[in-house]
Structure 1
Amino acid sequence: MLLSALRRPSLLAAIGAALFLIAGASHARAEQICALDLNASGAADDPGEVVACEAGEDTDTWSCPLQRVACSQEPTGTYSCPLGAEHACITPQGGGTPMCSPASCTATSSSEIVDEPVADDPGAPADGLVDSQGNCLGSIEIFAGRALRCRPPGLRTTFSNCCKDRGKIVKDGMGSSLASLQTKIAVAKAVFTGMKAAYVAFKAGATAGQAAGAGANAIIAGFDPASIAISLAVNFMVDFLLSGCDQQDMEVGMLRGSGMCHEVGTYCSTKILGICVQKSKGHCCFNTKLGRIIQEQGRPQLRSFNAQGWGTPKAPYCRGFTPEEFQALDFSKMDLSEYYADIEARAQSQIQVDIKEKIDGFMRATGQ
């Protein structure tokens, strides 16, 4: 198991680094940070492009180490920055020649660090009344999706890739056709609960293997283990313990890896002094892989989606089809080979593995 190979000091060091970059630390050298697009990519979201500033000789001044150069002394005895008069010359704390950098420093709690709000989209609600036969009397959406985002490497993720596909953790086809999206959300939250349980156990002194067991048991207790690939979920938890990824990153990682998400595009979600230091990828995630495929190939057939398409990366447009739109779809023009290949690949041996996982999960949960 991957987790058993980890060592406690390395895990705590990684978590400490995440807390340092995300929340800021209390000691002096972490009070201000600076960012610079060193590779001309259009953003400072690569390792080494966001660093802690160093305190100057005057405790109220800070110096950015990125592309820092020595200032030139004028005949009057003052110093000027060769990069331009707009860049201040800062004397190092230990004394010496003043230095300047093209990047400015800002406090970690400053309003100059701007985060875009994260959309919390619960998906299509169960709205309206039902008749005596249970038929919905309100609006109906078929293959409705949910707007979610994940974050590639950047400042807020401690340069971990929170959009990385981690295998097919969530199994397709579970849950009823109307409630299955909420089921997928419940699965994601169950794995998140397991991740927290593993971390708590680890902090309390458990070995890496014991922490993994605590996380797996928490998943099983919170959800039907037949719906999740338990071994992948445990490895998934470890990856997230070693990163700055949050719960929504984790949900997208599971659903996207399971083939249930359509990527809408990338946008800047965090800026420092106007410089992008963290990007996000907007997605529409659906209840099944089949739902995602039909949405991708059905929308171009309908005029009602022409104006908005998939929306914007920051605000994906993930609504489902109305019954009228669904009836208008021409399935003969759709390529469903991706879905058929999945069905063909699900051999008898894989079904037997699923059954074994369910039995083993139950036995672990009941201590037998």
Structure 2
Amino acid sequence: MTPAQAQPLCAADLDGSGDAETPGETAQCSEMTDGSYLCPIQQAACVADAVGAYSCPLGSQYPCATPIGGGTPSCSPHACTSVIGGGIEEEDPVVDDPGAPNDGPVDADGNCLGAIEIFAGRAVRCRPAGLKTTFSNCCKDRGEIVKDGMGSSISSIGTKIAIAKGVWTGMKAAYTAFKAGATASQAASAGANAIIVGIDPTSIAISLAINFMMDFLLSGCDQQDMEVGMLRGSGMCHEVGTYCASTILGVCVQKAKSHCCFNTKLGRIIQEQGRPQLASFNAVGWGTAKKPYCRGFTAEEFQALDFSKMDLSEYYSDIEARVQSDIQIDMKDRIDAYMETVNP
């Protein structure tokens, strides 16, 4: 038995945008009687001459072929991909960096004895509307779902920096359940339950999270799209750039937006405003769209930051219950306590 082969595809930049990411700019090709395939985009009927020979009105360079089902021979100005694999070329590898591994030596109390990274991020991507997302915008912000408020005790730091990890765990649980046959509602509930196991339940709007996951699961978005979507909408991601993730015969049919996503909104803000102060980031910045540079600060770099030159108003506005001066004092206490733990 001959194995099934993927249907050939074709793509065309009809709107002059430089890609083929909108509906109607990609299509499945039709099989013809001579074994070739014809792209239906801008397809034209061939014209017969006096002796019955057909020619393409679009140009003699385009061959005429008859559909398997019969009818008038047709031609198209656009080529079809190879049958094998459908001809979609994927960017390799997908932007997905788990961040710095926690693999250094620790003391008896579990404190890190090796090199540490403060406010480290993870390189990830989401995809705007395109062929691979069934033309759904998987980068669309859906509002703040994860909250990044500061509690009253220093011990809550561990909970706050676990937020992103909890989101990643939840998205994986939801996507795995959905692929295993669960309904979107059941999968979203499984994802929400996985999230609140790892973080303070008051840090996330559960009902919004469930609706968010259901929306994503019913679209063409994947697990990483969901991860980035929730953190991006909650203000925890810095967008690095856009690159082409999938092409057909050299025509881009799916773009991706790369990000550095952090455990907290505060981490993202300090990274954005702290990096310009440090010479060690001058040459590389945030990296490139395909290779985001999301590392955290070393202890020495963090100590060198001048917080008086940072605008933290975006963060202050999220904590309306406390006056700004109290937050500044609390933040200084937290940073001092953290540095004492790192450098006793």
- TM, length-normalised to structure 2: 0.81
Structure 1 residues 133 and 241: alpha-carbon distance in aligned structure 2, compared to 1, 3 A threshold? closer
Question: 1:51-70 alignment to 2 at 5 Å?
Answer: 51-58=27-34, 60-70=35-45
CA deviations over 1:234-253 (Å, ceiling 9, x no partner):
11122122211111111000
Counterpart in 1 of 2:249? 273
The sequence identity of aligned pairs, in percent, is 65
SS in 2 for 1:344: coil
**Pairing of 1:52-201 with structure 2 (within 5 A):** 52-58=28-34, 60-73=35-48, 78-107=53-82, 109-110=84-85, 112-116=87-91, 117-132=93-108, 134-172=110-148, 177=157, 183-194=163-174, 196-197=176-177, 200-201=181-182
Partners of 2:304 and 2:195 lie apart in 1 by 40
Residue 178 of structure 1, CA deviation: 6.7
Question: How far is 1:87 from its partner?
Answer: 2.7
Determine the C-alpha separation between the residues in 2 that align with 1:40 and 1:300.
37
CA–CA distance in structure 2, aligned partners of residues 118 and 229 of structure 1: 30
Assess, with a 3 A threshold, how the Cα gap between structure 1 residues 188 and 171 changes in structure 2: closer, same or farther. farther
What is the CA-CA distance between 1:128 and the residue it aligns to?
1.8
- 1:121 match: secondary structure: coil
Residues 1-368 of structure 1 mapped to structure 2, 5 A cutoff: 31-58=7-34, 60-73=35-48, 78-107=53-82, 109-110=84-85, 112-116=87-91, 117-132=93-108, 134-172=110-148, 177=157, 183-194=163-174, 196-197=176-177, 200-202=181-183, 212=185, 215-216=188-189, 219-220=192-193, 223-224=196-197, 225-344=201-320
Q: Secondary structure of 2:85's match? A: coil
One-letter amino acid of the counterpart of residue 261, structure 2: C
Please say if residues 115 and 270 of structure 1, whose CA atoms lie closer than 8 Å, have aligned partners that are also in contact.
yes
Q: Which SS does the other structure have where 2:9 is aligned?
A: strand
| 1:96 CA drift (Å) | 3.6
The answer (yes or no) to whether the contact 2:30–2:39 under 8 Å persists in 1 is yes
Give me the whole-angstrom Cα distance separating, in 2, the residues matched to 1:40 and 1:271: 16
Mapped partners of 1:47, 1:268: distance in 2 = 17
Q: Secondary structure at the match of 2:254?
A: strand
Asked if structure 1 preserves the Cα contact closer than 8 Å seen for 2:165 and 2:263, the reply is: no
1:188/1:254 contact within 8 Å kept: no
Deviations 1:71-123 (A, max 9, x none): 34467754343434443322233434322112111256437321012133111
CA deviation digits over 1:179-233, x for unaligned, max 9?
Answer: 865542332332442355467343xxxxxxxx63674256326633444311111
**In structure 2, C-alpha distance between the alignment counterparts of 1:198 and 1:273, rounded to whole Å:** 33
CA–CA distance in 2 between the matches of 1:150 and 1:247? 10
1:223 partner SS: helix
Conserved? CA contact 1:37–1:49, under 8 Å:
yes
CA contact (8 A) 1:128 1:137 kept: yes
User: Which deviations, in whole Å up to 9, do the C-alpha atoms of 1:256-307 show, x marking residues without a partner?
Assistant: 0110000011000000111100000000001110111111111111111111
Unmatched 5+ stretches in structure 2: 324-344
Distance in 2, matches of 1:330 and 1:214, equals 45
Q: What 5-or-longer segments of structure 1 have no aligned partner?
A: 1-25, 203-210, 348-368
Partner SS, residue 279 of structure 1: strand
| Contact kept in structure 2, 1:298 and 1:329, CA below 8 Å | yes
CA shift, 1:316, in A, is 0.5
The 1-side partners of 2:18 and 2:246 are apart by 13
Whole-angstrom distance in 1 between the partners of 2:252 and 2:33: 30
Q: What is the one-letter code of the residue matched to 2:301?
A: E
Query: Contact 1:270/1:278 (CA < 8 Å) preserved in 2?
Result: yes
Q: What is the total number of aligned residue pairs between the two structures?
A: 311
SS across alignment from 1:136: coil
Amino acid at match of 1:273: L
Secondary structure of 1:294's match? helix
Quick check: 2:171–2:223 contact (8 Å CA) kept in 1? no
For the residues of structure 1 that align with 2:187 and 2:241, how far apart are their CA atoms? 37
After superposition, the Cα gap between the structure-2 partners of 1:45 and 1:69, relative to the gap in structure 1 and judged at 3 Å, is same
* TM-score after normalising by structure 1: 0.76
In the superposition, relative to structure 1, how do residues 180 and 103 fare at CA in structure 2: closer, same or farther (>3 Å)?
Answer: farther
Rounded Cα–Cα distance in structure 1 between residues aligned with 2:27 and 2:203? 42
